[in-house]
Amino acid sequence: MGKAKAPTYKPGQKAPVSGQYAVVDSKGGKTGTEVTVTKGETLPPTPKSGQGFVLVDKTKHKSDE
């Protein structure tokens, strides 16, 4: 069994959680670019058409403990 594939978010969608999002290509491969987005903020435009975002590191809050 493989690891579940992380959901891909589109530019313009609201971030479901705060954290680091990696820019991925249309096949889900990382491009080497990451952005930090706060929950509820709109994800920024991607450098190229067809790209999206995957959450790579959720922000840890003191209240999460």
Residue 63 placed within a domain: no
Q: Is residue 64 part of a domain?
A: no
What does the pLDDT read at residue 52? Answer: 97
Residue 16 CB contacts under 8 Å (≥ 6 apart), including other chains? 9, 39, 55
**0.75 cut: is pTM over it?**
yes
Q: Each residue of 22-49: pLDDT tens digit? A: 999 999 899 999 999 999 999 999 999 9
pLDDT band at 6 (very low <50, low <70, confident <90, very high): confident
Tell me, yes or no, whether 37 lies in a domain.
yes
- Residue 65's pLDDT is 52
Inside any domain, residue 35? yes
Domain count, the chain: 1
Quick check: is 65 in a domain?
no
Q: Which H helix or E strand runs over 21?
A: strand 19-24
> Is 7 inside a domain boundary?
yes
- Give the domain range for residue 17: 1-58
Judge whether 26 and 8 are in contact, CB under 8 Å. Answer: no
